[in-house]
Chain A
Amino acid sequence: QVHVVQSGTEVKKPGASVKVSCKASGYIFTNYAMHWVRQAPGQRLEWMGWINTGYGNTKYSKKFQGRVTITRDISASTAYMELSSLRSDDTALYYCARKPYSNGWYAFDYWGQGTLVTVSS
């Protein structure tokens, strides 16, 4: 059975960085990509980027380019998303979501439970 479990709530000050983890189980980690999607309070879902868990190459949304870094540890079946230079409008729930490899095709079929990141002075 597929499970995707994320790390817990984070509270950060403006200008700091946050790193969220996403541990997968129940399938071969490198057979699927891992994407990151965020949802600010009362707002729509927003795609941030993804990682090829096998090769490690990444692609980021233009909005977050330069501020987001997605990595993975194959031995731990875990993906990470680090967001830097945090601002108050980065306060959001951050989700990781599994997707079959294919640029532009297939759905996000399993999601983590979400990690709340609050940015406040």
Chain B
Amino acid sequence: QSVLTQPPSVSGAPGQRVTISCTGSSSNIGAGYDVHWYQQLPGTAPKLLISDNNNRPSGVPDRISGSKSGTSASLAITGLQAEDEADYYCQSYDSSLSAYVFGGGTKLTVL
């Protein structure tokens, strides 16, 4: 059971908008710790997609964005493209566990 909860899968047609939620608790996201998002393409290592809730590293397109509110966070991808098909993980820090924690991952399928 993950400390951070994500939907197992989401899907959308090319050009559409999808969001992926990440629900935590008062000891992680709700405690003020930042949420980061990673994209994992099949057979590759995770790649940082969004840092510190809503910052895009260099090279990440502006159609990808993040937000955080209360004990949850969201990743939004607009103008869906085939290349967006991947697994997406949220990550934060949990003060009760004294550990970095990840969501269970969400598989994005582009129809």
Contacts and interface: CB of A to CB of B under 8 A. Distances in A.
A111 B99 contact: no
Contacts, number: 60
A103 B97 CA distance: 13
Interface size class of B (residues with CB under 8 A): 20 to 34
Residue of B33, B36, B103 ringed by the most chain A CB atoms within 10 A: B36
Interface in B1-57: 2, 33-34, 36, 38, 44-48, 51-52, 57
Interface of B: 2, 33-34, 36, 38, 44-48, 51-52, 57, 89, 91, 93, 95, 97-105
Interface of A: 35, 37, 44-47, 59, 61-62, 95, 97, 103-114
9 pairs of A and B residues whose beta carbons are closest in the complex: A104-B93, A107-B36, A107-B51, A47-B100, A45-B102, A111-B45, A44-B104, A61-B99, A114-B45
